[in-house]
Structure 1
Amino acid sequence: MTFRQKAAAIIRRTLTLLDPASWRGVFTGVSTSGKTVTATDAMTISTVWACTRLVAGTISSLPLMVYRDGAGDSRKVAKDHPLYALLHDSPNADQSALDFWQFICVSLELWGNAFARIERGAGRRIVALTPIRPDVMQVRRLTDGSIQYTYVDQGKAHTVGQDEMFHIRGFGGAPLGGLSTLSFGRNSFGLAMSTDEAAAHVYKNGLRPSGVLKTNDNQTLKPDQRADIYKYVVEPFAGDNSGKPLVLEAGLSWQSISISADDAQMIQSRQFSVEDCCRWFGVPPHMVGHTAGNTRLGSSIEQQTLGWMVFGLRERLKRIEQAVMKQLLTAAERLTVTVEFNFEGLLRADSAGRAAFYSAMVQNGIMTRNEVRRLENLPPIEGGDDLTIQSNMIPVSKLGEITSTGSEAARRSIIDWLFPEGMPAKSALYEKEDA
């Protein structure tokens, strides 16, 4: 056995949490509720659809940037790099970058794996990335330690090596593939499907009136009396007339019907299904429209949202970034080129948050005004390339010192800040300065 084969055997033993070939057969099929859970079936559950759409839509809307290292630990956007146009604009002839990454993220959320065929041109340069559905992919390790991918496209089987397949592993991180949410969550998803179906049958076939019209003497109505009640009482107060005063006569009385305990338990079961499905995707329930009892732990909706962005999105973003770095860049390029999502893209929808961020960066001398203007697609201004900081937060021992430029304005600003308007001491100080 060669050294490479020994190394591959060690990897198989230590890195594979579960053998995909084994759990793929065990965890697909019929759930304990009797429902067969496929990707199409699971996406009919509103919570699964909402969670998948939220994660995939958020990540795919973030720009994926290619940076090249510069002098002094700086870096600039490398628009001249061959991968920039593929990752940031259009990975193939049919899809935009948003479409491509949304396909990739949906694959990761449902199947735990995402695949894209690497198309190369002259000089082994990557010219396109074509996504492939994970459910048609077979992954296995060869005796020489390499990984082989086989998939079917339009009735024809294709077999390629790992140099021709871009493979992002989901949770689990095994070399042959991540763990599938559909497979491991099939019982929860099947239960949610069964609960929705049961509720639909109840309200389709069951009698659920809002109230009962009763006769005080329990007399049996004649056919013409029953027809008159429907004509003059029931039908006029349905639809838009619901809630208007009801006039009853001839011994009739109205008794409303409250929701039954069985109905209440069904509603609670459906609410629990929402929270249960959210757990599988690591999404806070309020982000998919479920706010019932969502703040019972004392944390606000804003804090929960920030927590999801830090702990939920970060892992997913790093998974994609590192897969791109490892599989699409050469070893030499990885020394000077970095691929990262621009997380600040989320601020585009928050004007107040964006303004606060820019203000803090400019006032603390981290960004120039022209750098901020470029982010806002505004033209540069004269003098906007200088770093500036706020001068009002200085030590008390330095109040008497005069700077070489703008000394008078700086001194007057400090005095205005120290002494409220209208105090005599303020005027006296100005007169002393003028003298």
Structure 2
Amino acid sequence: MAFVVSHGEVRGLARPTTSVPRSLQIAPGYTSDYAAIWRTHGSVRTVTDFLARNIASLGLHLFERAGDADRRRVTDHPLAQLIGRPMPGQYRYAFVEALVQDIAIFDRYLAVKMKGTDSDAPHALVRIPPMIWEPAGDDWTGPTEFLVRGNRGTRTFTRDQVVYIGGYSPAGELGGVPAIESLRSVLAEEHEAALMRAQTFRNGARASGYIERPAGAPPWSAATHARFKAAWRAQYTGSGADVGGTPILEDGMKFTAAQQSAKDLQYIESRKLTRQEVAAAYHIPPPMIGLMETATFASLKEQHKSLYTDTLGPWLQRIQQALAANLLDDFGPEAADMYLEFNIEEKLRGAFEDQAAQLQTSTGAPWLTRNEARAMRNLPAVEGGDELVVPLNVLTGGQASPTDSGTQNQRASHTPRVKAVGPIEYELKAPAGDTIPAEETDPLVKVFRAHFKRQRAAITSATGAKSPTWWDGKRWDAELAEDLLDAGSDLATTAARDVLTGMGLDPDQYDTPRTEAFLAKVAERIASQVNAATLRQIEAALADDDEDDEDDVDPVGHVFDVAEESRADQAAMTAAATFVGFGMAEAPRQVAPKATKRWVVNSWNPRASHAALDGEEVGIEEDFSNGMPWPGSFTGDPEDVANCQCSLVIIR
């Protein structure tokens, strides 16, 4: 038969107060010291409050196991209701806060289960202040009963009548050994140092130093000495009305300064050291409690993430397991598959932007309706706002939104330009020069800079000697085309393989040698265009130099300065877009020759020529009606290609 604890039986227990009367203390040597330390040492209270506040702010939920890999949250069970409201007038936060404080300060916690006459399950938990109870019993495995002294006498509760959490003790003491015990010497030293500093500041002269009377000065009577001493203290020490005045000495006295500042007394350093020691005893990183000397923004962000896993994780496990062990048996066999768990996720969710990106990537589609978004901004719902808006180019198997660049293949830098928009349709975004990653353009930048350096050396020497054959166009075109083909072929192959991977096809089916002849022509065309531009700039610079003989600037050298510093980057971006675009379009031509392709306009204000092409569908080997094989193709008019936002949909 379960023991029933009624309201009347616990009403006589002393309530927790700031000072428990000595008559109500079971073991004053054990508990009163720790309580006094917590009240008087700010570092201890800072740390224990930190623990209690952060743990109490977490939700404590009840779950039921529904198989090895599934669970269900339970909200209507009496245990869930008990945890949510441990006793009338008390809420869960206050219950958990008091529990953590008791464990942090005393390394033990006790609450009496209040049960009704019609049920063995408790309907309330009454916390017993550590100052008025002590564990008892002769079982070395743990206490079997608890002695509680109230204002009406002492009561004894058995183990099944209470919720008991006790700490570890190497000697087997009942109740555990608090962390404060290991801090006694540190806190005692800090206490004495604080008293010394207070006395120094209280009794020290505001004009700190000492007074010397010359050896030949007339002797003082006792009354004269007392008068001078009283006047000095009233004016220069303590909190008298004349504090801070100017000293007036007599009889040839001399004042010798002996200033002792707060720095000399190491006031700040001592306080920081004590707080660090207390934080270390409770395994809390110093920056978490305000010691920011070595903290950075990055380190604080990472420490916040680890706070509820590494720092508070053991506390959470201890509490939720202890509560389950003390309470589940009271609710019968139906609670055998239930367990309690703190909701750490609510503290680790991060900023709303991070949560939105993670959910969008995880679900593969937009996840918030317009009315849900309006409610977050306290705006009224609108008609039709409860429907989830999905962009037309996002279907099952595609990305979460047109702005999402998430991909399973993070190795390939241009994979985000491939988006599956249906079971047989795949969208390829035309590569723009400013969207191509640096790792793709860097090899081409090196090619162009090396080419311009060779040209500088040869042409500067020839023009200086007034050689009529200073420009060798065939040489420059051949050298640059060869170098471009090596770098560009790799880019095209990588882009093609990424497209096939995104389409769900085998990337090894792509035949690189099959494209070499065509890419060689592309490289020759790019080389010819770049060298032609260089020749025009040199001829213009030489002509300007002939008209202005007073200018000492090397005209040819200036052309190549600009070429190496800026033209190389611009030419590399254009060339990279060309090679990557070719690889993206060539891949489906090789592997899916029966496929068709559709021109899609994405801009809200497209060119008229592009708007006319929107939705046009042709064979994979055919050109569109504007003569281009794909949006952004190098075969089109440069003005028609620049900043093109259109995309290509491959239909298998």
TM-score (norm 1): 0.66
The alpha-carbon deviation at position 69 of structure 1 amounts to 2.7
Structure 1 residues 353 and 256: CA distance shift in structure 2, 3 A: farther
Q: Distance in 1 between matches of 2:360 and 2:64?
A: 24
Select the residue among 139, 150, 173 that pairs with 2:147: 150
Q: What's the offset of the Cα at 1:181?
A: 2.6
Find the aligned partners of 1:119 and 1:416 in 2 and give their Cα distance. Answer: 73
2:327 aligned with 1:328? yes
**Shift in Å at residue 193 of structure 1?**
2.0
Q: Residue 62 in 1 paired to residue 58 in 2? A: yes
Query: Hey, what does 2:217 align to over in structure 1?
Result: none
Give the alignment's Cα RMSD to 1 decimal: 5.0
Q: How far apart, in 1, do the equivalents of 2:336 and 2:124 lie?
A: 23
The corresponding residue for 2:156 is 159
1:402 and 1:276 map into 2 onto residues whose CA distance is 57
CA distance in 1: counterparts of 2:146 and 2:333, whole angstroms: 26
Equivalent residue for 1:393?
407
Shift of 1:256: 10
**8 Å Cα contact 1:39/1:182 also seen in 2:** no
User: Which residue in 2 is equivalent to 1:277?
Assistant: 278
Aligned-pair identity (%):
19
Aligned 8 A contact 1:188 1:273 in 2: yes
**Whole-angstrom CA distance in 2 between matches of 1:201 and 1:415:** 74
What is the CA distance between 1:123 and its match in structure 2?
A: 2.6
Q: In the comparison of the two structures, how many residue pairs are matched?
A: 364
Q: Which one-letter code corresponds to 2:89 in the other structure? A: D
Aligned to 2:615: none
Q: Aligned with 1:138: secondary structure? A: strand
Shift of 1:366: 9.8
Counterpart residue number, 1:177: 175
Q: 1:66 to 1:91 in 2, by over 3 A?
A: same
Task: Give 2:152's aligned amino acid.
Answer: G
1:109, CA displacement in angstroms? Answer: 0.6
Q: Tell me if structure 1 keeps the 8 A contact 2:430–2:631.
A: no
Q: Which has the higher contact order (CA 8 A, sep 6+)?
A: 1
2:50 partner SS: helix
Residue 406 of structure 1: CA displacement? 8.7
Q: Relative to structure 1, is the Cα distance of residues 175 and 27 closer, same or farther in structure 2, using a 3 angstrom cutoff?
A: closer
Q: Distance in 1 between matches of 2:174 and 2:121?
A: 25
- Report the residue type matching 2:180 in the other structure: L
Could you tell me whether the CA contact under 8 Å between 1:38 and 1:182 is conserved in 2? yes
Distance verdict in 2 for CA 1:130–1:434, change over 3 Å:
closer
Structure 2: which amino acid aligns with 1:275?
A: Q
1:248 paired residue number: none
Structure of larger gyration radius: 2
Q: 2:316 maps to which residue? A: 317
Deviations 1:134-167 (A, max 9, x none): 2322212346977111111233212111111101
- The verdict on how the C-alpha distance between 1:208 and 1:38 changes in structure 2, with shifts beyond 3 A counting, is farther
CA distance in 1, matches of 2:365, 2:68: 16
Q: Which residue pairs with 1:364 in the alignment?
A: 362
- Whether contact under 8 Å (1:347, 1:353) holds in the other structure is no
Structure 1 contact 27–183 (Cα < 8 Å) conserved: no
Alignment-derived partner of residue 100 in structure 2: 105
Structure-2 separation of matches of 1:304 and 1:347: 12
Aligned to 2:343: 342
- The aligned amino acid for 2:313 is R
Separation in 1, partners of 2:428, 2:649: 12
Q: Is the 8 A contact 1:169 1:175 kept in 2?
A: no
Alpha-carbon distance, 1:94 to partner: 3.1
Q: Deviations over 1:8-44 (max 9, x none)?
A: xxxxxxxxxxxxxxxx989859xxxxxx944134322
CA distance in 2 between partners of 1:54 and 1:148 (Å): 32
Which string of whole-angstrom CA distances, capped at 9 and with x for unpartnered residues, describes residues 287-323 of structure 1? 33333x4459x99344444444432201111000101
Q: Tell me which amino acid in the other structure corresponds to 1:151.
A: V
Distance 1:104 1:401 in 2: 53
Kindly report which structure 2 residues correspond to 1:223-262, keeping only aligned pairs within 5 A, or say none: 260=261
* TM-score, L = length of structure 2: 0.46
Q: Which amino acid in structure 2 is aligned with residue 404 of structure 1? A: G
Given that 1:66 and 1:79 are in contact with CA atoms closer than 8 Å, whether structure 2 keeps it comes out as: yes
For 2:631, which of 426, 430, 433 is the aligned residue? 430
Q: CA, structure 1 residues 302+205, in 2 after alignment: closer, same or farther (shift >3 Å)? A: farther
Report what 2:422 is aligned to: 404
Please tell me whether the aligned partners of residues 65 and 339 of structure 1 are also in contact (alpha carbons under 8 angstroms): yes
* Per-residue deviation, 1:56: 0.5
Aligned ranges 1:285-300 → 2 under 5 Å: 285-291=286-292, 293-295=293-295, 300=299
Give the counterpart letter for 1:44 in structure 2.
Answer: T
Give the Cα separation in 2 of the matches to 1:78 and 1:356.
29
What is the one-letter code of the residue matched to 2:407?
A: M
Instruction: Between 324-333 and 102-111, report the one with greater CA deviation.
Output: 324-333
For 1:311-336, what per-residue CA distance to the aligned partner results, in whole angstroms no more than 9, with x for missing partners? 22011110001011211113845652
Q: Which residue of 2 aligns with 1:353?
A: 351
CA distance in 2, matches of 1:305, 1:138: 37
